Amino acid sequence: MNQAVIEFDHVAKSFPGHQAIADLDFTINAGELVSVVGVTGCGKSTMFNLTLGLFAPTTGTVRVQGHDPHTEFDWFRRRVAVVFQDARLLPWRTAMQNVCIGMKFAGIDKREWEPRARDWLARLGLAGRENSYPHQLSGGQRQRVSLARAFAVDPELILCDESFSALDEITAKNLRAEFVELVRSGGKSGVVITHNITEALSLGDRVMVMRAPGHLADDIRLTPGADRAELDRLRQRILRAMEPPTDSDVGQPAQADAARTEEITTA
């Protein structure tokens, strides 16, 4: 099934005095788990906000599940959920209530809130912590609650904005594995924005490399089974793609980078 879930058609986005996205053109299909990497300021967050519909593109079109996320903002209720870099839990709500709040915002039947929240907290290892307030939880536990909040809505698309980057490596590794398992087992599509190449390689079916000002520098499709040497080669390739362009690259980023797309085998 190759149904497009996110389509950027030659999208540009400018802010006063600053072009965040120059020419972004890609398609993510349903069921794909895609990592987006790039250095700070390359336009990852702008791409994220365009996907969420928080901004409208300056030129070009953005389609998520065939709809305009900006003008049809409410259509995406229950269809899209986000896990942010920090857990963004409401300090006045318990873990259970924080999970319920996503369902409340999404307009899910009230009778489903508690069983779903309890179930997702248990799945993410927080059984017994339902009544804890955020300040009583560790950073990893807070992020688990935010994952539970996103998954409890049962969205078709999950967006992660550097969701594991603020955690220690062991916690991040565990949560990444849990996240991948939950996305796969739920048949969902996922986009994970990260600046961590190892994370990008371990998460997805595909790694999109972005470079400033907001264009795709490389698009690598991954299939399981790579050895260490292959991963190192891939890491080097991503690093090269993330580097600023040379003078000869300027002016034709999309064309220059499109040719680099290829299928890569990974672990």
- Residues near another protein (CB under 8 A) are 52, 54, 73-74, 76-77, 80-82, 84, 86, 88, 90-94, 101-102, 104-107, 122-129, 131-133, 135-138, 140-141, 153, 168, 170-171, 174, 177-178, 181-182, 185
Least distance between another protein and beta carbon 28 (Å) = 18
H or E segment at 142?
helix 139-152
Least separation in angstroms between residue 20's CB and another protein is: 17
Question: 131 vs 255, which CB is nearer to another protein?
Answer: 131
Name the minimum Å distance from CB 164 to another protein. Answer: 12
Q: How far is the CB of 179 from another protein (least distance, A)?
A: 10
Contact (CB, 8 A) for 98 and 145: yes
Q: How far is the CB of 101 from another protein (least distance, A)?
A: 6
Look at residues 124, 131, 129, 99 and name the one whose alpha carbon lies nearest to residue 114: 99
Residue 151 in tokens: 């998954």
Of 74 and 263, which has the nearer Cβ to another protein?
A: 74
Q: How far is the CB of 128 from another protein (least distance, A)?
A: 4
Report the amino acid identity of residue 30.
Answer: A
70 or 235, CB closer to another protein? Answer: 70
Distances (CA, A) of 8 to 11, 28, 61, 62, 66: 6, 9, 6, 5, 11
Rounded CA-CA distance 215/221 in Å is: 17
* Helix orientation angle between 110-123 and 95-105, rounded to the nearest 10 degrees: 130
Between 85 and 194, name the residue whose CB sits nearer to another protein.
85
- Judged by CB, which is closer to another protein: 131, or 236? 131
Bin 125: left if φ > 0, else alpha if -120 < ψ < 50, else beta. left
Closer residue to another protein, CB minimum distance, 90 or 239 = 90
What residue type is 241 in one-letter code? A
